Amino acid sequence: HVANPVCMPNRAAILTGRHSSVSGVRHNGIPLPLEVNTLADCLRAAGFDTALIGKAHLQCTLDGAPELGPNPCGDGPLANARRRPAGNYDQEKDGPWATRGRAAMDLPYYGFDHVDLTTGHGDAAGADHLLAQRAALGDPEALRGIENQLPHTYVCPQAVRTAIPEDQHSTFWIRDRALDYLSDPARRQAPFLAFVSFPDPHHPFSPPGRYWDLYDPADMVLPDSFATHAPDPPPPLRWLRENGEPGKAAYGAALVNERQAREAMALTCGMIAMIDDAVGALLDQLDAAGLAEDTVVVFTSDHGDFLGDHGLILKGPMHYQSTVRVPLIWSDPARPEADRSGRLGSAIDLAPTILARAGVGGYWGMQGSDLFAGAGPGSVLIEDDGNRLSLGFDAPPRVRTLITERHRLTLYQDQDWAELYDLIADPGEITNLWDAPQAQALKPALLFELAQQMSRACDRSPWPDALA
């Protein structure tokens, strides 16, 4: 599961092994402090070559004002409880790249010595990727976006049939940069970490070329919750159904009809197929370079998408499995036998698991654990600190979720209601058991475990310097 269902916080969790409440990246728009240690820092110190290829999103990519509005405590060094450490926090923004090119980045970047960077989603491009597009296409801006899209008949919100060629799309540009990195003879001289990060699958739904109509929307199977609704849904979902404009996002989530949901699913499958082809090419290159026999490949995602769940697409502060449960494939030549595990795990577990496999120690304050050590956790914690108003809340929602092998418990700060689902009997999370008589005996143990998880999430770093 994710540690946080939002892009920047969960990417920080993957690289630091720490929850968003302590990493400093509570939600989008807060860059990861340059002073923190990461998985890449640990491996780099142990002699690994470290590369980040594709999307980072560890810093802000946009210059617009935060959705929360201006800080009520003003600007300057006393505006926040902590002063931001000195450093360059504009390394992923278009402005510095437009004026300085690759000099906009200060390496190592969060422990990565080699960086090939792209920003944006769909057919957008920034940083290294934009420079490459301009060299190949001259004026890529004339090909991208809704105003330049190719004709199509889809009515799904954010469906954009891009005119950008397949080989200039972010997925294949990242593939090619990763192939260049893996084919370098230096890869045989030292161990390496290659963090290859594809922006897709993500809205806008814009797979290029043959991937646009690779899948037929009529073949898509809608989730059970699309048509089956509880008589008394949780307040955010009820508010969205009563107040949301169909096809228009409210706090990221958008109500859709059956046709729109099937189209979003088909286009997402097209994006995934393109990534599958790119990953296949990288695996072939590992074989060709003689690296496959001692390279571990880890495949995961930073979050999900509703994709028809409860009649929605996109995302929002509702912790349905479609947004908080993500894939994890661990391909290891030391474990050639195929196996599927149902044990619980979190994004914060990836860094300590990779470090353990590499035989490299971590740092004090890493909150995850090695996924291959012991029986595993009996539960995982998901944090979510909203950065905007919507869905009927009178303040940006702060959400904490406990996932066990059978249940999901979700609490919203300052609300007199909660969510409780039996994930085995009700995998579609349709029936909220919070007020159900038959579930009252479950609540004390689940609430106690949630309190334990929230206690474990409190920071224990730094280690004390002296007795006093």
Q: Output the DSSP codes for 96-152.
A: HHHHHGGGG--SSBTTBSEEEEE--STT---HHHHHHHHHHHS-GGGT-SGGGPPP-
Q: Are 310 and 222 spatial neighbours (Cβ–Cβ below 8 Å)?
A: no
Rounded to an integer, what distance in angstroms lies between the CA atom of residue 19 and that of residue 24? 9
3-state class (DSSP) for residue 250: strand
Range 140-144 contact pairs with CB under 8 angstroms and sequence separation of 24 or more: 140/164, 140/168
Span 338-347, pLDDT tens digits: 889 889 999 9
CATH for 7-70+83-456 (1.10.260.40, 3.40.50.2000, 3.30.710.10, 3.40.720.10) = 3.40.720.10
Q: What confidence score (pLDDT) does residue 55 get? A: 98
Between the two ends of the chain, the Cα-to-Cα distance in Å is 40
- Give the domain ranges of the chain: 7-70+83-456
Q: What confidence score (pLDDT) does residue 244 get? A: 82
What is the residue whose two structure tokens read 């406990």? 402
Q: Give bridge partners of residue 381 from the DSSP assignment.
A: 402
Span 157-167, pLDDT tens digits: 999 999 999 99
Query: On the CB side of 264, how many CA atoms lie within 13 Å of its CA?
Result: 26
Rounded to an integer, what distance in angstroms lies between the CA atom of residue 324 and that of residue 318? 9
What is the CA angle 26-32-37, rounded to 5? 120
Span 208-235, pLDDT tens digits: 999 999 999 999 999 999 999 998 999 9
For the chain, give the mean pLDDT: 95
Question: What is the residue-wise DSSP string for 183-206?
Answer: HSGGGGTS-EEEEEE---S-SSB-
Query: CB 155: neighbour CB atoms within 10 A?
Result: 12
Rounded to an integer, what distance in angstroms lies between the CA atom of residue 59 and that of residue 344? 29
Q: What confidence score (pLDDT) does residue 251 get? A: 60
Q: What confidence score (pLDDT) does residue 250 get? A: 58
Q: What confidence score (pLDDT) does residue 349 get? A: 98
Query: CB 392: neighbour CB atoms within 10 A?
Result: 16
Q: Which residues of the chain have pLDDT under 70?
A: 249-251
Q: What confidence score (pLDDT) does residue 200 get? A: 97
Q: Which residues contact 440 (CB under 8 A, 6 or more apart)?
A: none
Residue 407's alpha-carbon distances to 183, 432, 434, in angstroms, are 46, 11, 11
